[in-house]
Structure 1
Amino acid sequence: MPKKEKKSSDSKASSKATAKAAKKDKAAKSAEKQRDKKAKKHNDDDEEDLEAILEQFQRDTQENTQVTEEILQNPPSRRANGTLTPDPSNAHLWLIGGDYYDGHRLHTYHNVYRFDPAKGDSGEWREYKSKNAPAPRSAHQTVFTAQGGGKLWLFGGEFAGHSTFYHFSDFWCFDITTKEWDRIDTKIRPSARSGHRMTVFKNLIILFGGFHDTGVRTTYLDDLWVFSMDDFKWRKIDLSPLERKPCPRSGFSLLSCPEQNEVVVYGGFCKTYEKGKRPVAKSLDDCYALKITNDENNITSFKWDRRKKVGYVPSLRSGATMTYWPAKSMGVLFGGVSDIDDSEESLQSIFHNDLFGYNLPGGGKWQSLNLRKPKKAGAKKKSAKKKAAKAAKATAQDDSDNHPDGSESEDEEGTGANIDTDADTDDPQKTTPMPRYNAMLAILRNTLYIFGGIFEQGTQEFTLDDMHSLALDKLDRFKCIQECHVVGIEDEQDDDDDEDDEDDEGSENEGDDDEQVNGEEVQEKLQIHDTTASDAPSENTHTEDESLPQPGETLRQFFERTKDMWVEAASRKMPEANAKELRGVAFTLAEDKYEEHKPILREIEAMIRDSGAEPIAAKAQQQPGATSRNRR
């Protein structure tokens, strides 16, 4: 009996231990289940947070990359120092950036326009906007490549704010298919600059020259860079200092000639500095070819070779623009300005509107591209009659006794004069655009397009907005796509002419041609009138742009610059108010305008900041002439 009791006691203890272990295991499983449940809930929350973050990122990305497209009722505003780039694949022109000086301040643009010349007589302009885009700029460069539906590549440029000047070193790619910008960030790239030039050579983008303005002096550059579209990397080309190469310069022409495996540099502008002397502006007319070759190991080499001046060479000038005509392997040059600096006190500027061609192959040769007069019906018969008239005139001179008054000869001469007069009415030279420099040029399918530019008269600078085209394969006459509207400009030329007439009746033909550049023709084409309120202000008017705050400008600075405008507006609202009350109301009006445009200012300032541009103290706007900011 005792043994059975002991066995029963052990069985109960074992059963209790098993139950306890089972209970403990159950509790552990329950705890693990709770932990799994909590972990699952936490993971679900994390997934929800992550999804929310991704959704917000997608919304922000979509907002930044969203592109708006607008068909413009009016052409782009007047400007110079922008880029007009042809897209031969789609037969469009792309206008990006530029600037306009209204006599008070500089307006800098970041618009992206597309021009379709096939839409109507005047073509069609469209504008594309997106938040992810380059900051406003001028004196930049843009080139086109056809890969992937077409792309535009933009580098550098400058922006002048109220008190700060910026040079850019950012590099952007614009997809013509999607109309989206993509910034290309590379560790190695060219320094910030303006006035440089770029061109496309096979799979390379070639960049040369330009300038960097520190606010104290302008440094001109002669460095050579290539960007490979294979590996998306910039590379600086270091050449031997003993090799001949172009001197530092800006505002030159850079054309690619892949058939000859070379890139051509022509002309430009620079300043030379000597201690104790004022800077000397220098226009350049030399020409260099950059030979680009690959050896058996596919290593690319570069070598400069100076070209001789051959043919009908343009006169020395700066601000001339040359663009490439692929069908003829020719560069086409238009306009420019020649500054004749006789002394520190006298400066004469001659503005050009002539047209030249530069044949790139075979060492290069210049030619003048003159417009051709149209051939008239029956021209051969008229020519025969003219020859007969000349013969009759010679006979009449031999028999002068029968015609003492020379009446027969005069009639025949009159016939010849009538022929000349008829020809003059169809003179294609009358269709030539007015003289200018820093115009934007592009060639699309044998047609040359000219847009904008700058013309100076005395101490006034006119930024132009006209657009013209010329069929280069015909050279018959220019077509005016957009007329020039120069508004709010005082005409002093007529007063000078009146004084000359009083002094000497014949002085009109004896005056200095350099002082009155293309006088009457320029005055006719300027079309000076005062009908568009959005253009340059006259002495007693203010434009809408003038009343807008500028990037980097504080409210106090904005009010001090525009207070006359706001006081005038306040006096119209409160004609009985005293001076102190008017100033208070004027400040309130200025503050409202400033707050209204603050988001736009912040956006522009952010674009400039994101571009990595280094601020430089802005200099006062210089007068037109050889020292003008546009002669850089």
Structure 2
Amino acid sequence: MGTGRDKRKKAKERKDGPVVGTGAIKTEKKAAKNEAKKERRAEKRLEGDEDDIDALLQRIALEERQRKGAVAVADCDPPGPRVSASFVPYITPRGSFVFLFGGEYADVATDKVHVYKDLFRFDVDKRRWARIDSPNGPPPRSAHQAVVVKNTMLVFGGEFTSPNQERFHHYKDLWRLDLTTWEWDCLPSKGGPSARSGHRMVLQPLKNRLLLFGGFYDTGRDVKYYNDLWELNLETMKWTSLGVGPAGNAGAGAPWPSPRSGCGLAVVGDTLWVFGGYSKAKDEEDEELEHGKTMDDVWACNLTTYTWERVKKVGMAPGARASFSIAVHSHPKAGPRAFLFGGVSDNEAKGGEDLSSEFHNDLYTFNFERRRWFAAELRPPADKKGAAEKKGSAAAADVSSNPAAGEAGSSSAVSSAAPVISPGMAERLAAATDKNSALYRAAVKIQASYRGYVVRKAYQLYRIGGVVSEILYSPATYGLDLSVLNMPKPKARIGALVTVVGSTLWMLGGTVEVGSKEVTLDDMWALDVGKLDGWQLVRENTVGEELLKKAGAGGDDSDSEWTEASDGDLDDDDS
């Protein structure tokens, strides 16, 4: 009977074609049914709320797989407000470019955070932007690091933040972008650094390798900060650990910088430099409590012996800060030097119950050969100096004749003048530490005569050698050039994107906090680091201006803070 039925079935197939639900068609139907089940399960997984990190990343991955078509490179508008993206130069015979990848933006209106995976190219010579549409690239991220090596860009780590900043996902993947074909590929990262963000990564051309230091990892319940040092061999693309220091403060055993994120990292020859940063540590009295610490230390690592030394703070050094921007430029006379801009100083009470943040927009240079800090001395262009000097002289007269005039006027005039202290003035300021000097006696007399808010404010911002100097009341006496009073300068901020191409420092975006709001900026600035003839505004900020002005943080005349160097750090300056 069964045989007869089989024969009848086969005869019917010869006459009418295959019977639906049998043979190969049955197998295909079953496979399609299973695939439909998988899609329904996937859809359910994708229905998570906006803080469901897994669902968010799965939706993004699905969208990425559905993208098709050729890579497109086209002129476009500048990128929107951005912070904690990568911003790296690419120099070719055809021209000089800067690549921007990823980053994030805090929407002022909704308080939602948006994390990006887009890629832009800035043509330095033409000052034009292009957006590069390259499928199958890294998922969205910020606080990652990128380095250009020959015709490729390498991206490591970073984090993805849910819109309400309730959950975080840290990456430990390594991606490579071919800058000639725009094709991405994800490289094996087994045996490399753990997942993290806020780390720093630099190229050491002499050894054909990348060096990575620090960073942090946030589980939502606990935050861990790192101080490990890693090497990525660019020939084998293999990671190697170069050591890790003590978990707590450096000092136990061989010197080593303490764990931190948001620091500065630079390599010059066979020396790796680490500047500042931020970390959290257990309270010494109550281990259940943690407190944040913003650092002002500088460390140098010998990349031959891998030994660290803490570098003495010498010169006009910046105060403790993190999330500042740093870029290295080699001057034909001064040699290699780092430019440090902005950052934030967090002042946190025990247990983290009270946190106040101070944002900076000052600019410093660090001379690697002399191991010395300098305040960047900006000078107006020759053709604008005459007109500016008249305004500067008037401002100087106001400050000198009426030191207790309006709080805003005195503070604004002095803070704007601060970045132009002449090199020879450092010697006179150093004399302020000598109680027998005329300057010291004059400062004491001024303090006795003019007490109140202005002097207290001045004492906080302009302590040099431990006393308030006469700069506040007779700036002309000490050679201050007030002609730069009305020159534009960037707002105070953190996380600004900075790089040096040729002799020009480019800066884009960043973030400033106004109360509980985060305002992500989109302005762009340029500074000739050879001439130091003032900041040039390339594009105005378009985000949160009303909020910034209402909070007193808006405008280009926001205060520049001068922080004192430690006693004894103001050595004779023979520059």
Q: TM-score over 0.5 for the alignment?
A: yes
Match of 1:521 in 2: 557
Question: Size of the alignment, in residue pairs?
Answer: 386
Higher relative contact order (Cα pairs below 8 Å, separated by 6+ residues): 1
Residue by residue over 1:344-403, the C-alpha shift from the partner in whole angstroms, topping out at 9 and shown as x without a partner, is 6654432211111111224x2111112113446997xx99xx9xxxxxxxxxxxxxxxxx
> 2:227 and 2:116 mapped to 1: Cα distance?
27
Q: 2:263 aligns with which of 235, 242, 252?
A: 252
Match of 2:210 in 1: 205
SS at match of 2:487: helix
> 1:305 and 1:217 mapped to 2: Cα distance?
30
| Consecutive unaligned residues in structure 2, runs of 5 or more | 1-63, 247-252, 394-480, 560-575
> 1:458 and 1:283 mapped to 2: Cα distance?
20
CA displacement at 1:245 relative to structure 2:
0.6
CA displacement at 1:70 relative to structure 2:
2.1
SS at match of 2:177: strand
CA displacement at 1:181 relative to structure 2:
1.5
Q: 2:221 aligns with which of 208, 216, 230?
A: 216
Q: Is the 8 Å Cα contact of residues 173 and 189 (structure 2) preserved in structure 1?
A: no
Q: 2:131 aligns with which of 106, 122, 127?
A: 127
Q: How does 1:9-408 map to 2 (within 5 A)?
A: 66-72=70-76, 74-89=77-92, 90-102=95-107, 103-119=110-126, 123-146=127-150, 150-161=151-162, 164-202=167-205, 203-238=208-243, 242-258=253-269, 261-274=270-283, 275=286, 277-293=288-304, 301-327=305-331, 328-341=335-348, 347-362=355-370, 364-375=371-382
SS at match of 1:177: coil
Match of 1:571 in 2: none
Q: Which has the higher strand share?
A: 2
SS at match of 1:223: strand
Residue by residue over 1:392-421, the C-alpha shift from the partner in whole angstroms, topping out at 9 and shown as x without a partner, is xxxxxxxxxxxxxxxxxxxxxxxxxxxxxx
CA displacement at 1:307 relative to structure 2:
1.2
TM-score by length of 2: 0.62
Cα distance change, pair 225–159 in 1 and its aligned pair in 2 (3 A):
same
Larger radius of gyration: 1
Residue by residue over 1:559-618, the C-alpha shift from the partner in whole angstroms, topping out at 9 and shown as x without a partner, is xxxxxxxxxxxxxxxxxxxxxxxxxxxxxxxxxxxxxxxxxxxxxxxxxxxxxxxxxxxx
SS at match of 1:521: coil
The AA in structure 1 aligned to 2:541 is: C
Residue by residue over 1:396-448, the C-alpha shift from the partner in whole angstroms, topping out at 9 and shown as x without a partner, is xxxxxxxxxxxxxxxxxxxxxxxxxxx97x63653111111111110000101
The AA in structure 1 aligned to 2:361 is: N
Q: Is the 8 Å Cα contact of residues 372 and 428 (structure 1) preserved in structure 2?
A: no
Cα distance change, pair 480–377 in 1 and its aligned pair in 2 (3 A):
closer
> 1:200 and 1:491 mapped to 2: Cα distance?
37
TM-score by length of 1: 0.57
> 1:437 and 1:357 mapped to 2: Cα distance?
17
The AA in structure 1 aligned to 2:241 is: K
> 1:302 and 1:353 mapped to 2: Cα distance?
34
CA displacement at 1:214 relative to structure 2:
0.9
SS at match of 1:238: strand
Cα distance change, pair 140–488 in 1 and its aligned pair in 2 (3 A):
same
Q: Is the 8 Å Cα contact of residues 75 and 128 (structure 2) preserved in structure 1?
A: yes
> 1:164 and 1:292 mapped to 2: Cα distance?
37
> 1:139 and 1:341 mapped to 2: Cα distance?
23
Cα distance change, pair 278–521 in 1 and its aligned pair in 2 (3 A):
farther
The AA in structure 1 aligned to 2:117 is: H
CA displacement at 1:239 relative to structure 2:
6.0
> 2:289 and 2:75 mapped to 1: Cα distance?
49
Q: Is the 8 Å Cα contact of residues 101 and 463 (structure 1) preserved in structure 2?
A: yes
Q: Is the 8 Å Cα contact of residues 213 and 219 (structure 1) preserved in structure 2?
A: yes
Q: Which has the higher helix share?
A: 1
User: What percent of counterpart residues are identical?
Assistant: 35
Cα distance change, pair 240–309 in 1 and its aligned pair in 2 (3 A):
closer
The AA in structure 1 aligned to 2:367 is: N
Q: Is the 8 Å Cα contact of residues 84 and 93 (structure 1) preserved in structure 2?
A: yes
> 2:79 and 2:221 mapped to 1: Cα distance?
34
